[in-house]
Chains A and B, each alone.
Chain A
Amino acid sequence: MPLKTEPIVLNIGPQHPSSHGLFRLRLTLDGEVVTDLELVLGYLHRGIEKLAEGRTYAQNIPLTDRLDYLASMTNNFAYVLAVEKLAGIKVPERAEYLRVIMAELMRLTSHLAFIGFLLNELGAYFTPLFYMFRDREKILDLFEMVCGQRLTYNYMRLGGVSHDIPEEFIPAVKRLLNEMPRFTDEYEQLISGNEILLARTKGVGILSRDKAINASASGPVLRASGVKWDIRKVDPYSVYDRLDFEVPVGSVGDVYDRYWVRVQEMRQSVRILKQAIEQLPKGEIRSEVPHLLRPPQSEAYGRIEAPKGELGFYLVSDNSIAPYRFHIRPPALINLTALRDMVIGWKLADAVVIFGSLDTVLGEVDR
């Protein structure tokens, strides 16, 4: 006799250990199997896009820090890039290199945090997280050295960066770059060789190539599905066209590939950093930009390859001191739209891991 069963609705969040902020996953479960999923967003909405319309272009930079708070530097970078495009500002070469150095260091910290949190969601009881954060701290120390902040940097300026690097910065980065590959090797050996981790991640939550493109996913999520799409390569900004690096691409598009792609990206970041430090020219760090910038009546879209994917700022100017329209393309939100396809049919435990593998930061999703 078949048992009479009923699906149950389970809320993951808004307050939940693995919700990465304030976020609600409304799961319909048949036993342990997820049969339906609904995202409930907006718990962290602060109205940044509207706020920005009331502030001058320069005043908006600290607002962007509050988007993806695990990668503030890259948020700054994308925004100033958009404004510079809008107003046609030239950036000194040294500043361009400094921006690239900061962005790549930020990518390292973001991916380290990702690996730590993913393993936490797999149930590794915080140990990997602490190891990753040990290394992340070293990079945060570098940021502190440059701009005095550890989380929200507000480092980039229109037409350059706020401070020049101190003398001890370059040797410290070199030390870090020497250590980093050794650590990545060690972690990869420990993590990628773990039978339980492989069983939990290989083949789980596959996002097919077509679906990834349809969902307009970007960043490591898209590349794990086998699409070679990296803004640094396809639409080079800043000085990325002068730097030599590869774009790692996954094959299956499962959780493991999304993890693997990020580990490889960390290696490439180290490579980029080494070149950028070699090539770092002397000179100005900021060009002259008027305090109350009035860009001509036009619009611009500046985009960069943030750690989570394509981060873009769409700005419309009406020749006043504040943007007429300030729109953010947050990679985490758009990657999240593919979540339902990946999760359905998997178990509750997988749903959490698949969600974690998207590397969502809710500051960015809800803006």
Chain B
Amino acid sequence: MTVLEQFRNWLAGVMPEWAAYILAFIVSAVAIIIFVLVMILVFIYLERRLVGRFQVRLGPNRCGPEGIFQVIADAIKVLSKEDVVPAKGDFWVHFLAPIVTFVPALMVFAVVPFHKGTVLTNLDVGILYVVAISSISVIGIFMAGWGSNNKYSLIAALRAVAQAVSYELPVVMSVVGIILVTGSLSLSKIVEAQTIPFFLLQPLGFLIFLLGTMAEINRSPFDLLEAESEIVAGYHTEYSGMKFILFYMGEYGHALAASSIITTLFLSGWKGPLLPPFLWFLIKVLIVFFIFLWVRSTVPRLRVDQLTAFAWKCLLPMALINLFLIAAEVIWFPATLPWGMVVLNFAIAGVLILLWSRLFALGGGRVEV
């Protein structure tokens, strides 16, 4: 019995069942939307402060105590901007693009379990749903690039498609490893199956998934869509006002969704000792986001051919090997002590990464013209 069902039953006591059904869903959905929006604000604040620290400066600290109202001040500033649509842009495509980009970030949370039983819909194909929904945002980015009638935006849009096509495969492959172990596609069951977190049991899969999602949500070093030094602001060059805010929130919304999915799949979700489960979930999400931030403020960006080469030549073969290993382990040693597997898998992951770093070098890239 999930929390939602309990709530619905309670409502059914005071109103007709169909009304209780609809009202329960609306209330839960609004709760999740509020959670996502608040977390986005927290993320933006954290990013600005922490990146400031990474860059030997203070970060915003004037607006409210420790600068916590800076995000709100920024939002007001951006909202007061004039909404400009390029004269030769495609109005509807330009108008819909931010919505198409932002909404999937919200939709992912329909299946993310915050606590045992606290999930909007306990879909049996949860992980498939997540993979499918999170890919939709790429269409939004492409629409933005196309509808803006701007060359910077168009280049960013084409890069986005290339990136999504390349990185979707290794990401899905690394998830299959988990499905093999748990035997279920439901996110709640995956969390419950993690007696030890899967990032220990499948370190290679974890790394591939982490890198793959970083590429999918366009965080550095894979942030070619917004490569400031090359294509100014990428796909949202021609956006301002509310539409820009939607893109901006979409970026962090996807970071939040990705952190939540990584937490659920690999960091044992809401499980943890002492603290309440929801707090554990939040802590883990923030840790994952911190990794994103750390990487973003540390490493330079890849070039577009190196980006795809990294996906096809490095991540995909490794994901296949990982899948093979997990399958072998599931078939031949189903009842072995998990800690033995942890040591073995870490060793294999280390060897493989070393091997690839020796054999595979990014670089080259000149074309004769």
**A positions within 8 Å CB-CB of B:** 8-10, 16-18, 29-35, 119-127, 130-131, 134, 194-200, 202-204, 344-350, 352, 356
Chain B residue numbers with a CB within 8 Å of A345 are: 366-369
Which of chain B's residues has its CB closest to A197's CB? Answer: B300
Q: Is B331 in the interface zone, CB < 8 Å from A?
A: no
Complex Cα distance, B361 from A9, in Å, reads 31
Q: Is the CB of A346 within 8 A of B55?
A: no
Q: Is the CB of B369 within 8 A of A30?
A: yes
Chain B interface helix/strand/loop/mixed: loop
Q: Is the CB of A346 within 8 A of B230?
A: no
Report, nearest first, the 6 A-B pairs whose CB atoms are least far apart. A123-B301, A122-B300, A199-B362, A130-B55, A18-B229, A124-B300
Q: Is the CB of B55 within 8 A of A347?
A: no
Chain B residue numbers with a CB within 8 Å of A126 are: 55, 297
Chain B residue numbers with a CB within 8 Å of A10 are: 151-152, 155
Q: Is B74 in the interface zone, CB < 8 Å from A?
A: no
Which of chain B's residues has its CB closest to A203's CB? Answer: B363
Complex Cα distance, B339 from A301, in Å, reads 76
Q: Is the CB of B369 within 8 A of A33?
A: yes
Q: Is the CB of A120 within 8 A of B155?
A: no
Q: Is B163 in the interface zone, CB < 8 Å from A?
A: no
Q: Is the CB of B369 within 8 A of A17?
A: no
The residue that A127 contacts in the complex, of B228, B297, B361, B362, with Cβ under 8 A, is B297
Which of chain A's residues has its CB closest to B304's CB? Answer: A32
The residue that B302 contacts in the complex, of A8, A120, A200, with Cβ under 8 A, is A200
B365 to chain A: closest CB distance in Å?
6
A113 to chain B: closest CB distance in Å?
15
Q: Is the CB of B230 within 8 A of A200?
A: no
Chain A residue numbers with a CB within 8 Å of B62 are: none
Q: Is the CB of A125 within 8 A of B297?
A: yes
B296 to chain A: closest CB distance in Å?
6
A114 to chain B: closest CB distance in Å?
15
Chain B residue numbers with a CB within 8 Å of A196 are: 221, 299-302, 362
**B positions within 8 Å CB-CB of A:** 51, 54-57, 151-152, 154-155, 158, 220-221, 223-224, 227-232, 296-306, 357, 361-369
Q: Is the CB of B303 within 8 A of A194?
A: no
Chain B residue numbers with a CB within 8 Å of A134 are: 56
Chain B residue numbers with a CB within 8 Å of A32 are: 155, 304-305
Chain B residue numbers with a CB within 8 Å of A125 are: 51, 220, 296-297
Q: Is the CB of B300 within 8 A of A194?
A: yes
Which of chain B's residues has its CB closest to A348's CB? Answer: B230
Complex Cα distance, B304 from A352, in Å, reads 14
Chain A residue numbers with a CB within 8 Å of B220 are: 123, 125
Complex Cα distance, B298 from A125, in Å, reads 8
Chain B residue numbers with a CB within 8 Å of A34 are: 369
Selected A-B contacts with CB under 8 Å, 15 pairs: A9-B151, A17-B232, A123-B223, A123-B301, A125-B51, A126-B55, A127-B297, A130-B55, A194-B299, A199-B363, A346-B365, A348-B230, A348-B231, A349-B301, A352-B230
Chain A residue numbers with a CB within 8 Å of B228 are: 17-18, 123
Residue of A30, A199, A350 ringed by the most chain B CB atoms within 10 A: A199
Q: Given A16-B232, A127-B55 in contact, is the A347-B298 Cβ separation under 8 Å? A: no
Chain A residue numbers with a CB within 8 Å of B227 are: 123, 349
Given contacts A203-B363, A347-B304, 16 further A-B contacts (CB under 8 A): A10-B155, A122-B229, A123-B228, A123-B301, A124-B299, A124-B300, A124-B301, A127-B54, A194-B299, A198-B363, A199-B361, A200-B306, A345-B367, A345-B369, A347-B365, A348-B231
Chain A residue numbers with a CB within 8 Å of B224 are: 349
Which of chain A's residues has its CB closest to B305's CB? Answer: A347
Q: Is the CB of B365 within 8 A of A350?
A: yes
A91 to chain B: closest CB distance in Å?
40
Complex Cα distance, B304 from A33, in Å, reads 11
Q: Is the CB of A123 within 8 A of B232?
A: no
Complex Cα distance, B367 from A30, in Å, reads 11
Q: Is the CB of A120 within 8 A of B304?
A: no
Complex Cα distance, B298 from A198, in Å, reads 15
Residue of A18, A32, A195 ringed by the most chain B CB atoms within 10 A: A32
Which of chain B's residues has its CB closest to A191's CB? Answer: B300
A336 to chain B: closest CB distance in Å?
18
Chain A residue numbers with a CB within 8 Å of B152 are: 10
Complex Cα distance, B154 from A9, in Å, reads 12
B227 to chain A: closest CB distance in Å?
6
B240 to chain A: closest CB distance in Å?
16
B106 to chain A: closest CB distance in Å?
27
